[in-house]
Structure 1
Amino acid sequence: MNPVMENILTRRSIRSYEERQIPAESLDQILLAGTYAPSGRSLQTWKFTAVQNPQVLARINAALREALRTVAAGPGTHPYVVRLKAKAEREDSEFLFHAPTYVIVSNDRENVNALADSAVAMENMMLAAHSLGIGSCWLNHLPGLTRHPVIRGLMAELDIPDHHDIFATLALGWPKNSSPAAGPRKDVIHIIR
């Protein structure tokens, strides 16, 4: 099988990581892969903020807990948000899966292609990580809270531009367990010839 196709077909979301850090060279390659993703009009307005410092990772997790605890939940609140809010009430809540590396993908909120550009950069980084034997998982906690004052403060601490919003985040690390088998694929392909 073509190695690119094999990499695509065998990549899985990993939610349990070893404590050891990934090599600096591997992180550099993963981030480089993100920069080579296509972007609308080749504007490349994204920024990839990689965090490996344990104290900063703990601060991110604490900011997520704090922000989620203040989210107003009502009858129309999505069940996922309700579960996250309940999880945030626990003192031991961990939203980053104890990943030793965490990448925040932010982008200029005025760029109409910011979400799509960030998404293809994320896929490039996840595929690059998998090709190096490193596990990854796309996390959407921060993007949903990107306008929350606590998260805006965190972004300022992390030197993320004020005109940016967070569009995606990525947990990275050595998988603690073997990758699960792929689930069955849905019948979504329709070809008109």
Structure 2
Amino acid sequence: TRRSTRKFKAQPVELEKLKQIVEAGQFGPTGGNAQSNHFFVISDASVIAKLKELVQSAFAAMELREDLYKSLKNSITLARKGNYSFCYTAPVLIVVANKKEYGNNMADVACAVENMMLAANELDLGSC
């Protein structure tokens, strides 16, 4: 029943629910049991606004090429117009990071994120 939510309520998410979601991410599989994911929970509106600004700036600076997939082209175009928001109206973000030089970093992060999205759905919360 999980779906990608692109319009969120302004109300904060309960701390207990956030803990459950992050814990689900921590239980995600990792290559060689590396367990090197880091989880950052961001609920400060000014920090989210700054992140939106930085991400929009990064997308706006990207080269718009014909061989890019549709959603990336759309993100670049919106960013150049000043209309890009990667987090929509979410009151909280959970950023998962891993070591840049670790060869399985994206797969490990992807597993954690999917676990968290399923956990959020189970808690009647939207995610994207």
Please give the TM-score of this superposition, normalised by the length of structure 1: 0.62
Identity of aligned pairs, percent? Answer: 32
1:85 CA displacement:
1.3
- Which of 81, 84, 95 aligns to 1:90? It is 81
Partner of 1:152: none
What are structure 2's unaligned runs of at least 5 residues?
A: none
Separation (CA, whole Å) in 1 of partners of 2:105 and 2:3: 25
Separation (CA, whole Å) in 2 of partners of 1:80 and 1:121: 23
Q: Pick the structure with greater CA Rg.
A: 1
Indicate if the aligned counterparts of 2:43 and 2:93 stay in contact, CA closer than 8 A.
Answer: yes
Instruction: Describe the SS at the equivalent of 1:89.
Output: helix
1:92 CA displacement:
4.1
1:6-59 per-position Cα deviation (integer Å, ceiling 9, x unaligned):
xxxx22221111010110111011101111112122111111111111001011
Indicate if the aligned counterparts of 2:98 and 2:105 stay in contact, CA closer than 8 A.
Answer: yes
Of structures 1 and 2, the one scoring higher in RCO (CA 8 A, sep 6+) is 2
Separation (CA, whole Å) in 2 of partners of 1:11 and 1:76: 30
Separation (CA, whole Å) in 2 of partners of 1:49 and 1:79: 29
Partner of 2:55: 64
Instruction: Describe the SS at the equivalent of 2:108.
Output: helix
Separation (CA, whole Å) in 1 of partners of 2:52 and 2:45: 11
Indicate the structure with greater helix content. Answer: 2
Mapping 1:1-193, distance limit 5 Å: 10-137=1-128
1:50-82 per-position Cα deviation (integer Å, ceiling 9, x unaligned):
111100101111011111111122343333322
After superposition, the Cα gap between the structure-2 partners of 1:39 and 1:77, relative to the gap in structure 1 and judged at 3 Å, is: closer
1:138-177 per-position Cα deviation (integer Å, ceiling 9, x unaligned):
xxxxxxxxxxxxxxxxxxxxxxxxxxxxxxxxxxxxxxxx
What are structure 1's unaligned runs of at least 5 residues?
A: 1-9, 138-193
Separation (CA, whole Å) in 2 of partners of 1:122 and 1:31: 9
Instruction: Describe the SS at the equivalent of 2:94.
Output: strand
Separation (CA, whole Å) in 1 of partners of 2:47 and 2:123: 25
Indicate if the aligned counterparts of 2:75 and 2:84 stay in contact, CA closer than 8 A.
Answer: no
1:89 CA displacement:
2.3
CA RMSD of aligned residues (A): 1.5
Indicate the structure with greater strand content. Answer: 1
